[in-house]
């Protein structure tokens, strides 16, 4: 008897989907939506039918796409129909609206690819299916059908800082060191499989958001590793933070060993292949695991290399060479694990760079970093500015 129970229990355990399939993060959902039909008018008394209800999305900070999906999967979301005009109520009541609460950072696409709108702020709304108008003398007192659409809600995280790096570089460790987030950290590649967001809180109550992404590896553009589709989540971040393991990276003994500098250039290449526009964002390079012995020389050599990075890039084999090289605003050494002095420095850098960026977007201020970025193409030719 005990044996049978154990076997059944084991079978049940085996059936559990693996962790990544049970992950809570969903960044795209398809829905079928239908506006309410307008009510019928009453010709005898010139009565007007009620307008059909609309289906619309409203932004909510703590909403998530998983709950939208689990609530509406496989169903048509239909708004209420407009009331018919009656002898006792000449103008029919409008149909009830359906409100979908969605997270911030959503873009709503129609099936034909048309963008219906986007939601970036709490309370912002986008109508996704309008209700049909009620019957009037012009329409022969017949109500109209509401709009029917297949729509897609696409989420791109909105964060100030986006973390990019090879697996195991210490992205999640850094997120943990500077925010209250509790990401999973482990000594094997692809520990993080979905983006995480954390908030860095400063003493003066300022808050900066930071998004940790799964690791990228060379060949991500041809879907090696986890691919690079999740890079869409850095499209809307203001600053890119590259994290590189000072010891370099090797996926397995079958793969080539890449030095720290090579991993940075390979990341540069993957970002470029995903969207060259990403290279225009302000970027900081953090070389991690500086607590390990003999790493100062490596950091120094990387800073040296970035003084004339183009000549370094020319020596690389063509399959790992980026077309254009990111000019990092800063290159610093950190230890995410030990929370050493580099971490405080990095936190201050985030503030400084975000303030610079805010000034840059202000047309009344001529900021030195604005001039720097404007002349970025030339800076690249000459090599990077290293602090
Ligand atoms: N010595 C040392 N080890 C570190 C440091 N930061 C992270 N590690 C270790 O590196 C390993 C990987 O850390 P993670 O934070 O999971 O790395 P990740 O970049 O998030 O990795 P993926 O999620 O797989 O992309 C863990 O064993 C960490 O303990 C550091 O500053 N020094
Ligand atoms: Mg991670």
Residue 11 lies in a domain: no
How, if at all, do strands 125-129 and 196-201 pair?
unpaired
**Looking at the domain assignment, is residue 6 inside a domain?**
no
pLDDT of residue 249: 92
- Same domain, yes or no: 267 and 147: no
Q: Atom 30 in ligand 1: which residue has the minimum CA distance?
A: 289
298 and 246 housed in the same domain: yes
Strands 115-119, 330-333: pairing is unpaired
pLDDT of res. 26: 84
What's the pLDDT tens digit per position in 310-324?
A: 888 888 888 888 999
Task: Among 98, 128, 155, identify where a domain stops.
Answer: 155
Cα 157 to middle of ligand 1, angstroms: 23
Which residue has better confidence, 374 or 153? 153
- C-alpha of residue 170 to centroid of ligand 1, in Å: 3
What pLDDT sits at residue 21? 47
| Pair 221, 74 in one domain | no
CA-based R_g, the chain, Å: 27
Q: Hey, whose CA ends up nearest to atom 2 of ligand 1?
A: 289
For residue 248, which of 237, 239, 238, 256 has the smallest C-alpha distance? 256
What is the pLDDT at residue 315? 87
Which residue ranges have their beta carbon within 6 Å of ligand 1? 165, 167-173, 185-187, 189-192, 214-215, 288-289, 291-292, 335-337
Domain harbouring 294, CATH code: 3.40.50.300
Q: Which atom of ligand 1 is nearest to the CA of 188?
A: 24
- How far, in Å, is the centroid of ligand 2 from the Cα of 336? 12
Which ligand has the shortest distance to the CA of 173?
1
* Atom 11 in ligand 1: residue holding the nearest Cα: 187
Q: Assess whether 176 and 265 both reside in one domain.
A: yes
What's the whole-number average pLDDT of the chain? 86
- Testing ligand 1's pocket by substitution, the residue of 170, 191, 243 carrying the most ligand atoms inside 8 A of its CB is 170
pLDDT tens track for 93-150: 999 999 999 999 999 999 899 999 999 999 999 999 999 999 999 999 999 999 999 9
Q: Which residue has the tokens 């967001």?
A: 197
The pLDDT score that the predictor gives to residue 370 is 52
What is the pLDDT averaged over residues 288-311? Answer: 93
Residues 73 and 28 in one domain: yes
212 CA: nearest ligand 1 atom? 20
59 Cα–ligand 1 center, Å = 34
Choose the residue to mutate in 214, 290, 336, 338 for probing ligand 1, maximizing ligand atoms within 8 Å of C-beta. 336
Tell me which residue has its CA closest to atom 24 in ligand 1.
Answer: 190
- Let me know whether 209 and 308 are in one domain: yes
Residue 307 Cα, ligand 1 centroid: separation in angstroms? 28
Domain boundary among 155, 184, 218: 155
pLDDT category, 349, cuts 50, 70, 90?
very high
Under 8 Å between Cβ of 147 and 35: yes
148 and 186 both lie in a single domain:
no
pTM as predicted: 0.80
Same domain, residue pair 53 and 135 = yes
Q: How many CB atoms lie within 10 A of CB 303?
A: 18
Q: Is residue 318 part of a domain?
A: yes
At residue 87, φ and ψ (nearest 5 deg) are -60, -40
Same domain, residue pair 150 and 201: no
- What confidence score (pLDDT) does residue 382 get? 41
The answer to whether residue 1 sits within a structural domain is no
SS (HEC) of the chain: CHHHHHHHHHHHHHHCCCHHHCCCCCCEEEEEEECCCCCCCEHHHCEECCCCCCEEEEECCCCCHHHHHHHHCCCEEECCCCCCCCCCCCECCCCCCEEEEECCCEEEEECCCCEEEEECCCCCEEEEECCCCCCCHHHCCCCCCCCEEEEEEEECCCCCEEEEECCCCCHHHHHHHHCCCCCCCCCCCCCCCCCEEEEEECCCCCEEEEEECCCCCCCHHHCCCCCCHHHHHHCCCCEEEEEEECCCECCCCCCCCECHHHHHHHHHHHHHHHCHHHHHCCEEEEEECCCCCCCHHHHHHHHHHHHHHHHHHHCCCHHHCCCCCCCCCEEEECCCCCCCHHHHHHHHHHHHHHHHHHHHHCCCCCCHHHHHHHCHHHHHHHCCCCC
Mean pLDDT score, 298-316: 91
**Ligand 2 centroid – CA 172 distance (Å):** 4
| CA gap 110, 305 in Å, rounded | 47
More confident residue, 1 or 386: 1
Shared-domain flag, residues 210 and 258: yes
Q: What is the pLDDT of residue 368?
A: 56
| 46 part of a folded domain | yes
Residue 12 falls inside a structural domain: no
Judge whether residue 9 has pLDDT over 70. Answer: no
Does 258 share its domain with 150? Answer: no
Residues 192-210, mean pLDDT to the nearest whole number: 91
Query: For the chain, how many structural domains are there in total?
Result: 2
365 burial class (0-12, 13-18, 19+ CB within 10 angstroms)? exposed
CA of 272 relative to ligand 1 center, distance in Å: 25
What is the pairing mode between strands 115-119 and 148-155? unpaired
Ligand 1, closest atom to CA 335?
Answer: 31
Contact 115, 49 (CB under 8 A): no
Q: Is 383 left (phi over 0), alpha (psi -120 to 50) or beta?
A: left
Inside any domain, residue 233: yes
Give the pLDDT of residue 387: 40
Identify whether residues 215 and 276 lie together within a single domain.
yes
Examine the pLDDT at 12 and tell me if it is beyond 80. no
- Atom of ligand 1 at shortest range from CA of 338: 31
| Structural domain includes residue 13 | no
Provide the domain limits for residue 100: 22-155
CA of 165 to the centre of ligand 2 (A): 9
Q: Which among 130, 171, 129, 173 is positioned nearest to 151, based on CA atoms? A: 129
The enclosing domain of 136 has a CATH number of: 2.70.210.12
- Of 155, 172, 202, the position where a domain reaches its end is 155
List the shell of residues around ion ligand 2, using CB closer than 5 Å.
Answer: 171-172, 191-192
CA angle centred on 110, ends 108 and 113, rounded to 5°: 100
């Amino acid at each position: 008897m005990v044996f049978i129970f154990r076997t059944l229990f084991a079978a049940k355990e085996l059936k559990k989907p693996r962790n990544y399939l049970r992950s809570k993060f969903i960044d795209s959902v398809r829905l079928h939506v239908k506006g309410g039909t307008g009510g019928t008018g009453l010709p005898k008394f010139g009565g007007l039918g009620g307008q059909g209800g609309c289906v619309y999305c409203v932004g909510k900070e703590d909403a998530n796409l998983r709950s939208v999906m689990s609530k509406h999967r496989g169903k048509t979301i239909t708004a209420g129909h407009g009331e018919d005009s009656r002898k006792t109520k000449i103008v029919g009541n409008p149909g009830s609206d359906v409100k979908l609460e969605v997270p911030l950072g959503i873009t709503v696409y129609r099936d034909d690819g048309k963008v219906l709108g986007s939601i970036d702020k709490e309370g912002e709304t986008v109508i996704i299916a309008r209700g049909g108008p009620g019957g009037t003398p012009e329409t022969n007192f017949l109500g109209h059908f509401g709009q029917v659409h297949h729509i897609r809600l696409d989420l791109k995280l909105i964060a100030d800082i986006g973390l990019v790096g090879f697996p195991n570089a210490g992205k999640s460790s850094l997120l943990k060191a500077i925010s209250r987030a509790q990401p999973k950290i482990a000594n094997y590649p692809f520990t993080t499989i979905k983006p995480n967001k954390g908030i860095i809180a400063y003493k003066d109550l300022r808050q900066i958001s930071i998004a940790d992404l799964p690791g990228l590896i060379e060949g991500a553009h041809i879907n090696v590793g986890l691919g690079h589709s999740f890079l869409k989540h850095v499209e809307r971040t203001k600053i890119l933070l590259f994290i590189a393991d000072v010891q370099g990276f090797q996926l397995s003994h079958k793969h080539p060993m890449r030095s720290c500098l090579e991993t940075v250039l390979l990341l540069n290449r993957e970002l470029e292949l995903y969207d060259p526009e990403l290279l225009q964002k302000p970027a900081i390079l953090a070389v991690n695991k500086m607590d390990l012995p003999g790493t100062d020389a490596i950091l120094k050599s990387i800073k040296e290399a970035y003084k004339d990075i183009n000549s370094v890039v020319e020596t690389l084999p063509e399959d790992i060479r980026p077309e254009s090289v990111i000019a990092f605003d800063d290159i610093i050494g950190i230890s995410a694990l030990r929370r050493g002095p580099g971490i405080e420095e990095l936190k201050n850098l985030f503030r400084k760079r975000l303030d610079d960026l805010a000034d840059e977007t202000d047309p009344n201020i001529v900021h030195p970093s604005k001039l720097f970025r404007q002349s970025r193409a030339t800076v690249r030719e000459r090599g990077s500015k290293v602090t």
